[in-house]
Amino acid sequence: MANVAVPSARPVSLRIPVREIVPWAVFTAVLGLILIYFVGAEQGAVSIISGHTVHEFVHDGRHLLGFPCH
């Protein structure tokens, strides 16, 4: 009879590496807030970029998300 090596079962770590997730979560939140600003508020009462370029670019998305624009 031949000797057969059987791998031992090691426990799997289910810990979430919070220190690795936090920077990505903050980056995603900031990016989301910037996106919501440009879709929902740019070219309105509080405008950073002059003209109608941004408004026309996000116009359909504005209506799709329920933001009034006219």
Residue 25 has pLDDT above 90, yes or no: yes
| pTM for the model | 0.57
pLDDT at 27: 97
Residue 24 has pLDDT above 80, yes or no: yes
Residue 50 has pLDDT above 80, yes or no: no
Rounded distance, CA 55 to CA 58, Å? 5
Burial 18-51 (b: 16+ CB within 10 A, else e): eeeeeeeeeeeeeeeeeeeebbbebbeeeeeeee
Neighbours of 57 (CB within 10 A): 14
